[in-house]
Amino acid sequence: MTELNQTALKIVSNGKGILAADESTGTMTKRLDSINVASSPENRLIFREALFSSNGMENFIGGVILFDETIKQSTKSGNSIPELINQSGAVIGIKVDAGAKILAGSPEEKVTEGLDGLRERLTEYYKLGARFTKWRAVYNITEKHPSELAIKSNAHALARYAALVQEANMVPIVEPEVLMDGDHDINKCYEVTAKVLNECYKELKLHNVDLKGTILKPNMILPGNGSKNESRTGEIAKMTLKCLKENVPGEVPGIAFLSGGQTEIEATQNLNEINKINDTNFALTFSYGRALQQSALQYWGKNQEDLVNVQEIFSHRAKMNSLSTLARWTENLDKINIQ
Active site residues: 175, 217
Torsion of CA 319, 325, 327, 330, to 10 degrees: 30
Residues 6+ apart with CB under 8 A from 37: 43, 300, 301, 304
Contact 135, 161 (CB under 8 A): yes
Choose among 234, 231, 218: nearest CA to 272.
234
How far is residue 279 from each of residues 238, 259, 274, measured CA to CA in Å?
11, 22, 10
CB 331 within 8 A of CB 337: no
Query: Is cis: bond before 82, omega within 30 of 0?
Result: no
**What is the helix, strand, coil percentage profile of the chain, to 5?**
50, 15, 35
Cα end-to-end span (Å), the chain: 46
- Rounded distance between C-alpha atoms, residue 213 and residue 170, angstroms: 8
**Phi (first) and psi of residue 56, to 5 degrees:** -65, -25
- Looking at residue 261, its amino acid is G
- Tell me the C-alpha distance between 258 and 112, whole Å: 17
Phi (first) and psi of residue 303, to 5 degrees:
-135, 70
Residue type, 236: I
CB 183 within 8 A of CB 222: no
Q: Do 85 and 56 contact (CB within 8 A), yes or no?
A: no
Handedness of CA 124, 8, 274, 239 (dihedral sign): positive
How far is C-alpha 252 from the chain's CA centre?
A: 16
